[in-house]
Amino acid sequence: ITGCGSDPITEGAAVLKHSIHLASVHGNLGGRYDYKMYAIYHPDGEKCAKTLESLGYTLVRRETPVAVEQIKGDFLRSRIHNNGCCGERELVKLEAYTLTDHPVVVHMDLDTMVLKPLDSLFDWMLTDTSKNTPYDSSDIGLQWPDAEQPKKVNAFFTRDYNMVPP
């Protein structure tokens, strides 16, 4: 959460949490994993973030993790203030990497819904690679299915519906 705009965020946060609940071990979609909800927010979004506490979100206040003047690339440094909805405050998403109390952390925007369990992704990330046995990823749509699969997966990037061209 990068600020308080004109659109309320509580409804989107409630829908996201409900969809995650349904896809978890507690829901009816067959998920095997539990979850905990966090809302990472920039100080400019504190008032809006506070509304998520009643939904069961744990609030995590974070400043922008990178000072714009310290960005080395001229292109990004000169344009980040006007990039997207929130400029450099959007970088608070990187703070998801600091939530190290969990074996897997999934970052999602509040305009996202989970339609089915993400267990296959979690299984792959949690596979014991010391046995030198590759994970069966046949039920995961890979971007490069013929490429050699890594033995250890530390991060996934998936595209949501609004990133897929019609």
Each residue of 48-58: pLDDT tens digit? 999 999 999 99
Residue (of 115, 110, 103) closest to 9 by Cα position: 110
Any idea which of 5-14, 31-40, 52-61, 152-161 has the lowest mean pLDDT?
Answer: 152-161
Q: Rounded to an integer, what distance in angstroms lies between the CA atom of residue 92 and that of residue 42? A: 7
Q: How far apart are CA 134 and CA 151, in angstroms?
A: 6
pTM as predicted:
0.83
pLDDT for the residue 131: 67
Q: Of 124, 122, 121, which Cα lies nearest the Cα of 134?
A: 124
pLDDT of residue 2: 82
Contact between 64 and 88 (Cβ < 8 Å): yes
DSSP at 9:
S
pLDDT at 135 over 70: no
Torsion (CA) 14, 18, 20, 24 in degrees, nearest 10:
150
Tokens of 31: 């998920």
